[in-house]
Amino acid sequence: MTVKDSLGDVVPEMATAFLTAFLIWLFGVLVFLPLARRVEPSNLPLIVSVIILLPFTRFLFKGLRGLDKILDRLSKRITHELVSRRDLKKKLSTEKIVRAVVYTVAILIIYLLYSPLLSAIHPSINGIAMVVTIMIIFWILLSKRIL
């Protein structure tokens, strides 16, 4: 089985899971949390946020199963474009940098999606998640030997 075949098997499931998670996030953050704040601003946003957080996390993790293959493929494609356009000699180091940047952007997007849900529970939980996100980004940069 080639990489292309395995991507073809993973992408439909991944797309369905990510789209479901994104719809849950959209309705939760843009509809239900503002309504909860209007109805009862002290306790109801906490309950609604936890209710939204559980299925959002379930579908997000279901979609993350094949994301590493797609991110690797994307980083190789970007590296190929950079190397061919700029006539770079160091393809290996460029590929490491691009892969680290792609993974960092993916982690930041995931954090930004969780941020409003975690802030509704308690602002310090969002702060802890930010610290963990920054630590993961540094770990990625160190493991790829970028820093």
The predicted-structure confidence for 90-108, as pLDDT tens digits, reads as follows: 666 777 888 888 889 999 9
**Alpha carbons 16 and 59: distance in angstroms, whole number:** 9
The count of structural domains within the chain is: 1
The domain in which residue 121 lies consists of 3-143
pLDDT at 8 over 80: no
**Rounded-to-integer distance, Cα 147 and Cα 140, Å:** 10
Mean pLDDT of the chain: 86
Instruction: Reply yes or no on whether the pLDDT at 140 is more than 60.
Output: yes
pTM of the model: 0.81
